[in-house]
């Protein structure tokens, strides 16, 4: 487990060093490229803004009304039985359906429970480790006109379920 913590600290600086070395070997105008690519980042963040406002507001209404906590409390005893924290269930349910909704939910959970709490860490890992199954399926099969998707959705959703269980298990082992 110590090794995994080590990766968390070392991976980004080492990757940057690798990029710098590769850029100098190829004699690339690294700084110019960085600035050019960075402009994309501004665009991406700004285009996320309306999605985040919409989603975080709706989720906050649900949270502050007490409905979300009532839902969590209702399911807690059942889920505790298998060691699954009910607080992240809303995120687990929405993760395969909508990317922006999941992003909003992750943000709201981190804001409510704190980024370094067990629930906050678990939500972070769940958000980072899978993608939006339904969206990917719709985009790719829609783009090339596939009508019969066969077992694609089943496999995608079962894989998501396993990824969530693995996330709960490993986060519990490391930070629980």
Partner 1 sequence: MINWIWICMAAIGIIYAMFSGNMEAVNQAIFDSAAQAVTLAIGLISILVFWLGMMRIAEEAGILKGLAKLFRPIVTKIFPEIPKDHPALGYILSNLTANMFGLGNAATPLGIKAMEEMKKLNNHSDTASRSMITFLILNTTGLTLIPTTVIGIRMQYESASPTQIVGVTLLVTCIGTIIGLIIDRIFYYKSKWRKS
Q: How far is the CB of 172 from partner 1 (least distance, A)?
A: 11
Question: What is the smallest separation between the CB atom of 157 and partner 1, expressed in angstroms?
Answer: 9
Q: What 3-state DSSP class applies to 71?
A: helix
- Residue 22 φ/ψ, nearest 5 degrees: -60, -40
Query: Cβ closer to partner 1: 35 or 80?
Result: 35
Residue in 168, 163, 59 with CA at minimum distance from that of residue 106: 59
Q: Phi/psi at 146 (nearest 5 deg)?
A: -90, 125
114 contacts 129 by C-beta, under 8 angstroms: no
Nearest partner of 161 among 89, 69, 110, judged by Cα = 89
Instruction: Decide whether 79 or 134 has the Cβ nearer to partner 1.
Output: 134
Nearer to partner 1, 65 or 78 (CB): 65
Q: Which is nearer to partner 1, 85 or 156 (CB)?
A: 156
CB of 168 to partner 1, least distance (A): 10
Q: How far is the CB of 5 from partner 1 (least distance, A)?
A: 6
Q: Measured from the CB of residue 105, what is the shortest distance to partner 1 in angstroms?
A: 10
Q: Long-range contacts made by residues 85-88, C-beta under 8 angstroms, separation at least 24?
A: 85/118, 85/119, 85/122, 85/168, 87/113, 87/119, 88/119, 88/122, 88/123, 88/126, 88/168
Cβ closer to partner 1: 86 or 90?
90
């Amino acid at each position: 487990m110590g090794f995994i913590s080590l990766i968390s600290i070392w991976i980004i600086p080492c990757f940057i060093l690798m990029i710098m070395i590769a850029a100098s070997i190829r004699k690339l105008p690294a700084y110019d490229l960085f600035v050019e690519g960075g402009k994309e980042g501004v665009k991406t963040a700004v285009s996320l803004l309306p999605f985040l406002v919409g989603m975080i507001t709706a989720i906050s209404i649900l949270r502050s009304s007490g409905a979300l906590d009532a839902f969590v409390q209702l399911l807690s005893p059942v889920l505790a039985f298998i060691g699954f924290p009910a607080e992240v269930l809303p995120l687990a349910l929405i993760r395969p359906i909508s990317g922006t909704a999941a992003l909003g939910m992750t943000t709201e959970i981190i804001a409510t429970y704190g980024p370094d709490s067990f629930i906050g860490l678990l939500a972070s890992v769940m958000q980072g480790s899978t993608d939006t199954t339904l969206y990917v399926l719709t985009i790719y099969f829609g783009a090339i006109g596939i009508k019969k998707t066969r077992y694609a959705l089943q496999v995608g959703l079962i894989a998501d379920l396993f990824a969530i269980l693995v996330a709960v298990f490993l986060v519990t082992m490391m930070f629980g």
